[in-house]
């Protein structure tokens, strides 16, 4: 069962492209957070598509 306070994200990759569907609370904080997330997500996907990789901003510890 879905909660009205949670964020749900579905990613579907098909031969026609990538589809992102979301469900999130109807409030200003959620809208701002989702917009920021989608902007960053799109930048990462664009980097992977154009360069084949993405360098994480946080170094991985050995």
pLDDT the model gives residue 61? 73
pLDDT at 1 over 70: no
Structural domain of residue 38, as residue ranges? 8-51
**Span 14-42, pLDDT tens digits:** 999 999 999 999 999 999 999 999 999 99
The answer to the question of residue 38 being in a domain is: yes
- 20 found inside a domain: yes
This prediction has a pTM of: 0.75
Is residue 42 in a domain?
A: yes
Residue 19 domain-assigned (yes or no): yes
**In this predicted model, what pLDDT tens digit does every residue of 41-56 receive, in sequence order?**
999 999 998 998 887 7
Total of domains in the chain: 1
| The dihedral sign for the CA sequence 45, 50, 56, 60 | positive
Is the distance from CB of 4 to CB of 25 less than 8 angstroms? Answer: yes
């Amino acid at each position: 069962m879905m909660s009205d306070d949670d964020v749900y994200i579905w990613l579907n990759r098909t031969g026609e492209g990538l589809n992102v569907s979301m469900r999130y609370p109807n409030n200003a904080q959620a809208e701002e957070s989702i917009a920021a997330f989608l902007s960053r997500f799109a930048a990462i996907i664009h980097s992977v598509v154009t360069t084949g990789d993405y360098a994480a901003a946080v170094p991985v510890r050995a």
